[in-house]
A = this chain, B = another copy of it.
Amino acid sequence: MFSMRPIGVAYTPYTETDGVPKGLGAAHQAEGVLELAPEYEPGLTDIEGFSHLYVIWVFDRVEGYDLIASPPSDTRTHGVFATRSPRRPNAIGLTVVELLGREGRRLQVRGVDMLDRTPILDIKPYLSSVPESELRRGWLAEAEARAAGSDRDRDPGSGRTLG
């Protein structure tokens, strides 16, 4: 077993799980603040130069886990390690945020998707991306295709489907 202690806390607009955008096409544009405990502030030196950061945090209001998850983006179930489900063997969350600014030990960021006052375990610089052209997104891409198909079936006259 490994013991992890929070280095700080995330302040976000989401006080309840239901408020966090989830599922297909969910946009994460919400702004929030990552506030470190005072003793860790020197660890933020030079972080201002990075546009994006990884935030590693704890789903601290989740108990237990399921190896087979039912993600909101699909009607089918999938293995928990093939999903972002919070009910994981280790309740670790991972979010990429855009760094908007820093004031001392507080980072203003965009793209938070964790609940308000979530404990933060680590912050790392985001250094490089996998090109979109090389990404395959498995069941998620299939669920999106099915959803697009059923939208067309449900609403053939909406005028939104071109071609």
Contacts and interface: CB of A to CB of B under 8 A. Distances in A.
A50 B82 contact: yes
A46 interface: yes
Given A3-B3, A44-B81, A92-B122, A128 B139 contact: no
A84 B124 contact: yes
B122 A126 contact: no
A83 B1 contact: no
B135 A132 contact: no
Interface in A33-51: 40, 42-51
Contact of A48 (B6, B54, B135, B138): B138
Question: Which 4 pairs of residues, A with B, have the shortest CB-CB distance?
Answer: A49-B138, A45-B79, A129-B129, A51-B136
